[in-house]
Amino acid sequence: MELTKDIRINKYRVLADYKVKIAKSPFMSVLQLANEEGGLLTPEILFEELMQPLSLRACENLLIRLTSMEYFEEDYNGSIKKNEEEWFIENQNTYYKLTEFGRQSIETNDFYDKRNGLLEIWVTEENEFTPKIIKLTELKYDEDKKIETTKINYELADLINNTEVIKLKSGDFTIDKIEDQIKFLETSTETVIITFYDTYSEITLADFRANEIIKKSKALETILINEFQENYILTENIILTDFNIQDLSLVRNHIIETPFYRNTYFNAITIPNISVNPKNIKEAREWFENLLKKRVNKYFLSDEDYNAFENKIANEFQLYKDDLVNTISRQQLIDVFGKEDFYKKVKLETIDYLNY
């Protein structure tokens, strides 16, 4: 099953400070050391535990650089716990404390390189399934000098968050700062697609990809309940519908024009092989009689043959089978045929001719 919806996209070109996830950074060992030291480091500890034979000054410069990238923050009061003993840092010395972003990097084993440059950013309207940024492209230079710059708007300002990771097909990013002057490129539409598999769903929109744990059957139930309300019997997976002599099928492909799922209306879908039943016993009897008439397609050579035929069709009415079995005899069905059904009447009357 697949749901689709067109989403409005605003496209911008901006100059920004941002971070990009890189693979196998040697700086991860510094973060790991800080974590082992209770979340605090000094240049001296870094030198003694990890960075020899580099100079103490090089260790300090490295911590300053990692602080500028939001992995550490400076402080002048505190203590470092090592080997069950506490080292108190004198006030004139600087120590470096892991930030929440630094701890997050340790937990996920991810490191982000800080950069400044030109970006093209695609921003979506609010929706239940994707982040606001669904595409981010690093540009070497501004390809279009004709586009005038404008002051940064609220939509872009709200995206600035130096610890919120934007996960896209092209990479993982954070947006730390956007310069005041931006270029608005255009508004367009892209299609968000939610593909349901047996135990999970895949969401795609431009460069955004994500999986969610949800059973396809549960998502289908939600859509059917939203569409048919009390006419959907969840326990039986049956839709109750009005009798229509033009369509006597009890298993149908249902077209839902605007399926509603997670507070969102989607484009039309067809759900195949959904069981339907009448809304009440009166319509069930009428439906049953018409199905019997329609399906008479062979000569019945015994009452047992007819009873098996009648019972088989009655059992297709899941909610009413006990009320319909053995309710229309062969003679009763003969009586309801009109002149236009002469050949079907003959098939039902074959037994009488053989016994004459």
- pLDDT tens, residue by residue, 154-187: 888 888 887 788 899 988 998 999 998 888 999 9
At 90, is the pLDDT very low, low, confident or very high (cuts 50, 70, 90)? very low
Burial (0-12, 13-18, 19+ Cβ within 10 Å), 226: middle
Measuring CA to CA, which residue among 197, 195, 259 is closest to residue 223? 259
Token readout for 176 is: 């730390």
Residue 263 DSSP one-character state: T
- Model pLDDT, residue 88: 46
Segment among 81-85, 263-267, 284-288 with least mean pLDDT: 81-85
What is the spatial distance between Cα 268 and Cα 256, in angstroms, rounded to a whole number?
Answer: 6
- pLDDT tens, residue by residue, 114-137: 888 999 999 999 899 999 999 999
The structural domains of the chain, with segments of one domain joined by +, span 2-20+112-194, 25-109, 216-278, 281-355
pLDDT at 339 over 70: no
CATH architecture of 25-109: Orthogonal Bundle (1.10)
- Model pLDDT, residue 188: 95
- pLDDT tens, residue by residue, 36-52: 888 888 888 888 888 88
What is the spatial distance between Cα 236 and Cα 241, in angstroms, rounded to a whole number?
Answer: 14
Mean model confidence pLDDT for the chain: 85
Q: What is the mean pLDDT of residues 311-319?
A: 93
- Model pLDDT, residue 229: 92
The whole-model pTM stands at 0.74
Most confident of 23-27, 76-80, 298-302: 23-27
**Count of alpha carbons within 13 angstroms of residue 9, beta-carbon side:** 23
What is the spatial distance between Cα 118 and Cα 246, in angstroms, rounded to a whole number?
Answer: 63
pLDDT at 81 over 50: no
**Count of alpha carbons within 13 angstroms of residue 41, beta-carbon side:** 31
pLDDT at 58 over 80: yes
Token readout for 173 is: 């990013």
pLDDT at 91 over 50: no
What is the spatial distance between Cα 142 and Cα 161, in angstroms, rounded to a whole number?
Answer: 24
Measuring CA to CA, which residue among 210, 164, 27, 20 is closest to residue 106? 27
- Model pLDDT, residue 74: 87
pLDDT at 143 over 70: no
pLDDT at 84 over 60: no
Q: What is the DSSP pairing of strand 79-82 with strand 133-139? A: unpaired
